[in-house]
Structure 1
Amino acid sequence: MNTRILQCLLALALAAGPGRAAAGEPITLMVGGVEKIIYLPVKLAERLGYFGAEGLDVEIRSEWSGIHGADVLLVGTVQGVVGFYDHTLYLQAKGKALVNVIQFSQAPGEVELVSARMPPSVRSMADLKGCTLGVTGLGSSTQFLSRYLVLAAGLKASQVNFLPVGTGDNFIGAMTRGTIQAGMTTEPTASRLLNAGQARVLADLRTPEDTVRALGGLYPSACLYMQTAWVARHKPEVQRLVNALVKALRYIQTHTAAEIAAQIPPDFYGGDRATYVKALGRSKAIFIPDGRMPEGGPAHVLKVLRSTDKSLHGKTIDLPSTYTLEFVTAAR
């Protein structure tokens, strides 16, 4: 191979840049806890063969917090993150261009629990003054939402402490050991604690109705977001990803919780299939059948974020650039 050819190949490699997947190469998605019910569509699309049917080779990785997924996306290690939409707004304020290509849910599917070891007088977020609250990670959506609920209850953010404890067994261990007195988690972790009598509910965001009561409106949450520049260069691949995920959302709507659970790895059940199925049945209402962003959803998410995070104060957020309907519309 002559020097001229080598130079051309090197130039092409450099032009591709970090995180650029060539045709036929695997696409890696980082999920902020793949076993969580809120992120069910991505695992379901894999298990049902929807990615393969679209000619895609998709690798799914799991991180215990969505904010860490965003970090690896920004350095180009993965091509997409299955996490919460609010991160596209939060990171735009920091100069990063991310876009949500399909919206999974219209509510967080999260719940603020208080340890059963706390006295019965602790009945609301207002009673958590001086407590340590568990979140998946610092800068995570669970921290954004927990801080909002604390402030809405009349407390100052400085009157509680936030501790990153992850989810699943790690969250359960932190609560049962007394490392945290309360915390925000998702299903099936929440139901495992509640069924065991180790916690009780303080603030519920597990259904659209609960979310409207607690946050004043719907809060579009779980989604697939990617770097805006990467999406612009890879529209055919993104379309096929969205096609597969819309199929998964439709499957959720047209099948029972038991039928859906049968498609999921047994280790997702947390040792209790019946509890998982019940929690999944309750959670089905949060999923959006066609993957479209709810009208007014982005503005409400921004309103919540601005009330909880000073880093967004004075920053102009271009909401239309944080999500697109292009791919879900074509998938329909």
Structure 2
Amino acid sequence: MRTHLKLATATAATMLALTTLTACGGGSSAGAADGKDGKIKIMVGGLDKVIYLPARLTQQLGYFEDEGLHVTLLTEPAGVQATTSLISGDVQGVVGFYDHTLDLQVKGKQVESVVQLAHAPGEVEVVSDKAAGSLTSAKDFKGKKLGVTGLGSSTDFLTKYLAVKNGVQTNEFTPVAVGAGQTFISALQQGSIQGGMTTDPTVAQIVDKKLGKVLIDMRTPEGSKEALGGPYPSSSLYMNTDWVNGHKDTVRKLARAFVKTLKWMSTHSAEQIAAKMPSDYAQGGKQLYAQAIKDTLPMFTKDGVMPADGPATVERVLKAFNPNLKNATVDLKKTYTTEFVKK
């Protein structure tokens, strides 16, 4: 999440334009939620992305309401913007990648994962059909334009790591911020990128339309281990540590709601999960959306607990290319807590 964290009027303007989805049905997003009376704002790095599916599914299942919480879900196209909203105080939590907590710590911001939703990235490096002959592995990243959701995003992090791991320096290829969904697909079609890192349902649509193919698949723990050398905890609910310490009862309720969702997901089929989600999330059709969920399901935890060796993998990956972390000391124990999910 290498961003300059511009927290001026641009952030406020963006927030006003965001689509809001309120768990209590008739609720309003006006006014800053602060956790009082169970009113919480959570920013998601792309509500329609399957990697962040537990956020909207928890709402759809009514688990926030069951805990007496009134949760407003907001959406940003990339995790880097979501984190900016957290630091600026516009929201109380983010559903995004855990790796941002490490990057923020070395910048003097203490943020922690309170529910670990996934133990694999859920990300896929795809290559366009036109470029498939010259881009056959990460070793071929040199000289290429590669799509990421946003500069400083987790897709940017992982792309840089895969490059460095395979002998390509970060200045030898060009990351291009293309978002996800249709904007990513259009960039691939138009040739403005030769490949890129994205998630389902975008991956499923690219393969279905025969616009490209999967180059590196990190939707499973096995795929994560092969590409990154270990489990890579990704999607999580993370919050400012000071806020967590001051609102433990609220955080406990949030954790309970999310863990109930994870357990529900582990006992239901992809088709059953898809049926609970908003119909407009299935832009490629119901069958393709269900397949996208099925392909991504292995990334999710069943209990919200951080995998024991996950944080060390994330630190190793980030230090391989990120100059901010390379020589910095990271206190991994302060980047996550299992206090709430284990209770």
Normalising to structure 2: TM-score of the pair? 0.89
Whole-angstrom CA distance in 1 between matches of 2:198 and 2:84: 21
Partner letter of residue 120 of structure 2?
A
- Partner of 1:163 in structure 2? 176
| 1:285 Cα offset (Å) | 1.3
Which digits, 9 at most, give the CA deviation of each residue in 1:53-96, with x for residues without a partner? 10000000000000101101001000000000000001101110
| 1:271 Cα offset (Å) | 2.9
- Partner of 2:18 in structure 1? none
**Structure 1 stretch 319-328 or stretch 263-272: which is displaced more?**
263-272
> 1:24-39, aligned counterparts within 5 Å?
24=37, 26-39=39-52
- Partner of 1:258 in structure 2? 271
Partner letter of residue 201 of structure 1?
V
Question: Could you tell me which of 311, 316, 330 is aligned with 1:298?
Answer: 311
| 1:119 Cα offset (Å) | 4.6
**Retained in 2: the 8 A contact 1:19–1:79?**
no
**Structure 1 stretch 110-119 or stretch 240-249: which is displaced more?**
110-119
- Partner of 1:109 in structure 2? 122
Structure number with greater Rg is: 1
The answer as to 2:280 corresponding to 1:237 is no
- Partner of 2:143 in structure 1? 130
Gap regions ≥5 residues in structure 2: 1-30
Partner letter of residue 83 of structure 1?
G
- Partner of 1:98 in structure 2? 111
Identity value in percent = 46
Partner letter of residue 165 of structure 2?
A
Question: Could you tell me which of 183, 197, 200 is aligned with 1:184?
Answer: 197
Whole-angstrom CA distance in 2 between matches of 1:282 and 1:204: 10
The answer as to 2:141 corresponding to 1:120 is no
Question: Could you tell me which of 138, 149, 152 is aligned with 2:162?
Answer: 149
Normalising to structure 1: TM-score of the pair? 0.92
| 1:195 Cα offset (Å) | 1.3
**Structure 1 stretch 288-297 or stretch 262-271: which is displaced more?**
262-271
Whole-angstrom CA distance in 2 between matches of 1:244 and 1:25: 13
- Partner of 1:44 in structure 2? 57
Whole-angstrom CA distance in 2 between matches of 1:245 and 1:225: 12
- Partner of 2:70 in structure 1? 57
Question: Could you tell me which of 299, 308, 325 is aligned with 1:312?
Answer: 325
Structure 1 residues 97, 189: closer, same or farther in 2, change over 3 A? same
Question: Could you tell me which of 276, 281, 300 is aligned with 1:287?
Answer: 300
- Partner of 2:86 in structure 1? 73
Structure 1 residues 43, 119: closer, same or farther in 2, change over 3 A? closer
Partner letter of residue 211 of structure 2?
Q
Question: Could you tell me which of 259, 263, 266 is aligned with 1:246?
Answer: 259
SS in 2 for 1:61: strand
| 1:213 Cα offset (Å) | 0.6
SS in 2 for 1:55: coil
Partner letter of residue 268 of structure 1?
Y
Which digits, 9 at most, give the CA deviation of each residue in 1:100-133, with x for residues without a partner? 0000000000001111111524211112321111
| 1:241 Cα offset (Å) | 0.6
Whole-angstrom CA distance in 2 between matches of 1:181 and 1:285: 28
| Superposition RMSD in Å | 1.3
- Partner of 2:187 in structure 1? 174
**Retained in 2: the 8 A contact 1:19–1:75?**
no
Whole-angstrom CA distance in 1 between matches of 2:118 and 2:247: 24
Partner letter of residue 56 of structure 2?
K
